[in-house]
Amino acid sequence: MAAASCIYAADSFSEMFTEGKAYGNIKYYYIQTDKQNDNPYKDTSAHANAIGGQLSFETASLMGFKAKATFMTTNGFSLGNPVDTSILGRDNGVRLGAQYADDSFTVLGEALLQYNYEGFMANYGRQVIKTPLIHAKEVRMLPSAVQGAMLSYTDKTNGWSIGGSYLTHFKQRTSDSFVNIVEHALGANTRAITGSDTGDVWYLDAAWHNDAVSVSVYDYYAKDFLNSLYATAAYHGETGGHAFGLAIEGIMQRSVGNADSNLAKAGSVTGGKAINAESISLKGDIHFGESTFMAGYSYVTKDDNAHDSLVLPWDGTPLYTNMITSNDLFSSNYGKGLKADSIYIGGTSAFKIAYTQTYDFTGYTGFKTVLSYMNADNDRFTKGNQQDFNVVLAYNYDKHLSIALKGIWVKNNTGAKADGTVTQLDDFQQYRVIANYKF
């Protein structure tokens, strides 16, 4: 964060504001979801339109201090019946009751005070962050955000950084409320699992890179709930005049403290199983001019005596086989943290291939297509493998305006409940139109 921070010099308190900058975006989002299932057979369709965006103001720096605020808004219109609230207020609906969902809301998503000095950074407040297991996940109208404090030190010369963070609250991307971060994960089961109604997350991170290699490690710790260790390493090189990359990542999760003993009790929400989840993921990509080919593989270990699915309640989608519909919105909704989707379920092995093409060579600049396919296999999938097909057509008119059309087709869309019970939906299709103007 310190490396990415922009510092604007000011000589007085008033100049912090007069020399600050305002920026943001205006976004339109259309989504349509069609589902078919045969037990009993149902064919449902829902859609939603929304317009909104973000408006940020960032002060200039005065003696190393600066501040930032971001207002976020989403406003539904021409809504169908039923309303598809997945881009509007689904998390609010889950949190406050099945009959409640916001068509529109506005929230102060960021309110941050930060200090920078020669590679050292400290901040406190609300902010949007992007880490492997706690992420902004900007695939809907608005990003997710956290509240807490962060410290870091970056040595640009030698390419390394270290950091420590303390987080107390989390705002899901379809919510206007900052909820206690552990309560968001566990909902009504928070006290039964952790022995308390609230909690917090501490995480430490370290990274190093040179021109070819990058390595990073994160350790997330929530007392009496969960410890998650994430590590990744990547290599970028060139062969035959073509750039390529190779990467590996691993995740290890364990329930800790009260959660470890309470989840192991008969009748717990996990069926008497403590959390013991591990995964490995590999990927490679190679570039030929304006074409990029990618292949990825992931495996989540199986343990019949444990809750062996990855626990991802804060919008992290780390595995390289992740698709638009993998680890979808629902497992990061309020209280759904012990659910899991497709590639994140214990025992699932998955592979993904993707082909990205730009078309500047034709003289029509700004166009890009992405074709992706993923196949997930698990002997717990009673209807067969989950298969995802994603097609994206994107156009960047300039640095301000972009438009994207997305098509998603899924066979046997799969999810696992907290107790490990797996359910599969025969067919799932989704179509999205996203127009975004940045200023």
Radius of gyration of the chain (CA): 22
At the second CATH level, the architecture of 13-438 is Beta Barrel (2.40)
pLDDT at 69 over 70: yes
Span 141-190, pLDDT tens digits: 999 999 999 999 999 999 999 999 999 999 999 999 999 999 999 999 99
**Domain chopping of the chain, boundaries:** 13-438
Whether the CB-CB separation of 293 and 354 falls below 8 Å is answered with yes
Both tokens of 226, joined, read 């969960």
pTM: 0.93
Angstrom distance (rounded) from CA 172 to CA 128: 11
pLDDT at position 2 over 60? no
Average pLDDT, rounded, for the chain: 93
Pairwise CA distance, residues 77 & 48, whole Å: 7
CB 413 within 8 A of CB 423: no
Residue with tokens 């991307």: 173
Contacts of 119 (CB under 8 A, 6+ apart): 2, 153, 154, 155, 156
Contact call for residues 121 and 1 (beta carbons, < 8 A): yes
Residue 154 neighbours by CB under 8 Å, 6+ apart: 2, 3, 119, 121, 160, 161
Q: What is the pLDDT of residues 309-342, one digit of tens each?
A: 999 999 999 999 999 876 677 889 999 999 999 9
pLDDT at 38: 87
The predicted pLDDT at position 5 comes to 40
Give residue-wise pLDDT tens across range 74-120.
999 988 777 777 778 888 888 887 555 677 999 999 999 999 999 99
Task: State yes or no: pLDDT of 6 exceeds 50.
Answer: no
- At residue 328, the pLDDT reads 73
pLDDT at 10 over 90: no
Residue that has been written with the tokens 């909902």 in this structure: 187
Query: Could you write out the DSSP letters of every residue in 312-352?
Result: -TTB----TT--TTTT-GGGGSTT-TT-EEGGGSTT-EEEE
* Confidence check: pLDDT of 205 > 60: yes
